[in-house]
Copies of this chain bind each other. A is one copy, B any other.
Amino acid sequence: MLVHKITEVREKVKEWKRAGLSVGLVPTMGALHNGHKSLIEKSVEKCDRTVVSVFVNPIQFCAGEDLDKYPRTLEADEKLCTEAGVDIVFAPSPAEMYGEGHILSNDFLTYVIPPYFYTDKLCGKSRIGHFDGVCTVVNKLFNIVQPDFAFFGEKDRQQLIILKKMVNDLNIPVEIIPCPIVREESGLALSSRNKYLSDADKQEALALSKILFNIKNCYKKGITDVRSLGETAYAFLNENHSLEYLEFRDENNLEEKTTADDGTVVFIAVKINGVRLIDNISLR
């Protein structure tokens, strides 16, 4: 069922809760692919009822980012959801979420701000305010849907770690369920932004997963020095890759690692032909 209004979702969820049913939420920006599908399936399996939100959240896009051209495919998204057994697809307008003519700056809007220690690194370094926008909209969605469980992909692992921190710090009564990255056979991590890639770009994009898999291999073989592990990346990079970061960080608090261990996650971001791609891998 496609729902656009907050009050309508709330009523439906209230009914479910009165009946003692558990509720899962899968927050998305639409343009659903098999990565989202795996989150949705996990929710449908775990929870009595599942809500998928489809909302391209303006306040998590930074100046110069792709808000206007971000892919919007609601009809296909709804079909995927229905087939997967989703009970409600919640697709609010920006006005429904933030009010008509609302000024979306922190001069006039309440924000949920994750700690700087978690946001001043990795993607947060180039995407100023991005995670403030993510935490704020997820907080809103949690308050609207009041789910028991919420499903997030490990593809956006910095986001996942930050949202877990938010839930913990603010005592939010929602359990966050992390879901593993879904990859093409080639190794490429699924992403809505892959649509921006030409076939040639896609070929170049394989470098990200190759670098990560190779680092994990080296780690499993006993190399733990982060500098040595990092240097193995250069074998996979060429002039078509603009490396934004390759970093080794703690899986819980994003602290930098100099020696890799099982609690280490390797994060990578590369721009290919103007398209920014991210990926990561746990060394566990």
Chain B interface: which of A43-51, A140-148, A226-234?
A: A140-148
The reply on A239 being an interface residue by CB < 8 A is no
Q: Is the CB of B170 within 8 A of A140?
A: yes
| Residues of the B chain whose Cβ atoms lie less than 8 Å from the Cβ of A117 | 107-108
Cα distance A171–B117 when bound, in Å? 27
Count copies of this chain in the complex: 2
Q: Is the CB of A143 within 8 A of B115?
A: no
The reply on A6 being an interface residue by CB < 8 A is yes
Cα distance A66–B111 when bound, in Å? 27
| Residues of the B chain whose Cβ atoms lie less than 8 Å from the Cβ of A111 | 112-113
Cα distance A173–B165 when bound, in Å? 22
Digit string of A128-165 for contact with B (CB within 8 Å is 1, else 0)?
A: 00000001100110011010000000000000000001
| Residues of the B chain whose Cβ atoms lie less than 8 Å from the Cβ of A238 | none
Q: Is the CB of B114 within 8 A of A113?
A: no
Q: Which A residues, 161 to 217, have Cβ-Cβ distances below 8 Å to chain B? A: 165-166, 169-173
| Residues of the B chain whose Cβ atoms lie less than 8 Å from the Cβ of A114 | 110
CB-CB under 8 A for A110 and B166, given A6-B171, A10-B173: yes
The reply on A3 being an interface residue by CB < 8 A is no
Q: Which A residues, 221 to 243, have Cβ-Cβ distances below 8 Å to chain B? A: none
| Residues of the B chain whose Cβ atoms lie less than 8 Å from the Cβ of A109 | 115, 169
| Residues of the B chain whose Cβ atoms lie less than 8 Å from the Cβ of A113 | 106, 110-113
Cα distance A146–B146 when bound, in Å? 10
- Closest B-chain residue to A172, C-beta based? B143
Cα distance A117–B238 when bound, in Å? 48
Digit string of A95-122 for contact with B (CB within 8 Å is 1, else 0)?
A: 0000000000011111111111100000
| Residues of the B chain whose Cβ atoms lie less than 8 Å from the Cβ of A136 | 170
CB distance from A216 to the nearest CB of B (A): 29
| Residues of the B chain whose Cβ atoms lie less than 8 Å from the Cβ of A139 | 170
Q: Is the CB of A173 within 8 A of B143?
A: yes
CB distance from A23 to the nearest CB of B (A): 13
- Closest B-chain residue to A98, C-beta based? B169
| Of the residues B106, B115, B173, contact of A107 by C-beta under 8 Å | B115
| Residues of the B chain whose Cβ atoms lie less than 8 Å from the Cβ of A107 | 115-117
Q: Which 7 A-B pairs have the closest CB atoms?
A: A110-B169, A143-B171, A110-B166, A108-B115, A140-B171, A107-B116, A144-B171
Mind listing 5 A-B residue pairs with CB under 8 Å? A6-B171, A107-B117, A111-B112, A143-B170, A146-B173
Instruction: Give 9 new A-B contacts, CB below 8 A, not counting A109-B169, A110-B113, A112-B113.
Output: A6-B171, A10-B173, A107-B116, A108-B115, A109-B115, A110-B165, A111-B112, A113-B113, A140-B170
